Structure 1
């Protein structure tokens, strides 16, 4: 099990570039996600769980949890640095069958990193103000490849016009006035931006996980996912990269 305890501040003794310096905490994050998935598997099996904070204490599971979780449809999702964590976790643990990435911060990745990733369905949702050439180039590198299971290109990328990096978090929804005052809310309505992220994710996952009928709003998003032009429902949602 993972160790718990305080994380102490470590002062760096030399110059440090946050865009290019490799991040030491990527591996711990990946291991934490894998351990969380292990716990979910144990819940699904009805197994007892050990308490990580107090040795010797176990949580007895109810039989009602057995078989209630579909472990064949595990999706890894993340935002910003969590986006690259999602990609690397999906590469390290093949129990994940799809990956959704929001504004992935790709700079810490080494050259040739894209060869590590399995061809599972993967969706990139970007904001218009969090795109620069070096980062975008690495995102497109991960998108390449064919999916053996579905027999087609299974990577998609969309971007939300007039949006900022923070529009993919809860902050503009919880503190709209403050975010506008700090110029961190984007020009787009925060609720609308959140709806587009949710709709794009649901449409993408439904495409691979079931054959449910997609309603008008979802159909409009699917059109953009497949490379179509912006729709009347979400004119700010565009395929690929924005021109802003």
Structure 2
């Protein structure tokens, strides 16, 4: 399924680029829309891919198959769906792993490290007190008691967790897409420096005795 999702990302990219060229794309709805009005509206040199959980695996698979994705961000990625061929072919583009403190485990982290070892353009950070649902908006739907019981909320304030994730992502994108913004003020987060973030992982990766 991860290969299918990656192909869907590539297909979406192709459609966006086709629209950017001013061409009409097939649509199930009848429309008199002037497609030429969208011509050259996308900066095709600054395209990234980003996803959470299974979407994180999709990010990695998409990067390995499509160099037009300049970089990627994987939020608390679930690595199991990724095949051995992806590790063998590797991912050449910059990649940021942003993990929660409570979801990850050793085998999953080791697979991330297979892709990021000895490459300074690949980073991993962990948000303290966060859970797997700290990344999507779903964490804001529930109250405190229900949220904790169903692990929709972690020990960290959900607004703080989202801010860290967003700010680290923006800093990473500015660096690797050459954005002319002020997002570099959050560069320290990408290095795992901050009151609620750590570099790498909180998971013990030492071999079991």
TM-score (norm 2): 0.87
State the 1:121 CA deviation: 1.1
The DSSP-based 3-state class of the residue aligned with 1:175 is coil
- Structure 1 segments (4+ residues) deviating >4 Å: 57-60
State the 1:61 CA deviation: 3.6
Contact 2:22 2:36 in 1 (8 A): yes
Query: In proportion to residue count, which structure has more helix?
Result: 2
Match of 2:14 in 1: 38
Match of 1:99 in 2: 72
Match of 2:122 in 1: 155
The DSSP-based 3-state class of the residue aligned with 1:71 is coil
State the 1:44 CA deviation: 0.4
1:49 to 19, 22, 25: 25
Contact 1:83 1:103 in 2 (8 A): yes
Specify whether residues 108 and 211 from structure 1 end up closer, same or farther in structure 2 by C-alpha distance, changes over 3 A only.
Answer: closer
CA RMSD of aligned residues (A): 2.3
Q: Structure 1, unaligned stretches of length 5 or more?
A: 1-24, 147-152
2:61 to 88, 91, 107: 88
What is the rounded CA distance, in whole Å, between the counterparts of 2:21 and 2:93 in structure 1? 25
Match of 1:167 in 2: 134
State the 1:210 CA deviation: 2.3
Q: Structure 2, unaligned stretches of length 5 or more?
A: 205-209
The answer to whether 1:143 aligns with 2:103 is: no
2:150 to 153, 165, 182: 182
Specify whether residues 86 and 59 from structure 1 end up closer, same or farther in structure 2 by C-alpha distance, changes over 3 A only.
Answer: farther
Match of 1:204 in 2: 172
State the 1:59 CA deviation: 6.5
Contact 1:87 1:117 in 2 (8 A): no
- Residue-pair matches, total: 203
State the 1:47 CA deviation: 0.4
Match of 2:191 in 1: 226
TM-score (norm 1): 0.75
- Higher relative contact order at CA 8 Å, sep ≥6: structure 1 or structure 2? 2
Larger radius of gyration: 1
What is the rounded CA distance, in whole Å, between the counterparts of 2:32 and 2:67 in structure 1? 27
State the 1:180 CA deviation: 3.0
The answer to whether 1:194 aligns with 2:162 is: yes
Specify whether residues 67 and 141 from structure 1 end up closer, same or farther in structure 2 by C-alpha distance, changes over 3 A only.
Answer: same
2:196 to 208, 229, 236: 236
What is the rounded CA distance, in whole Å, between the counterparts of 2:32 and 2:49 in structure 1? 26
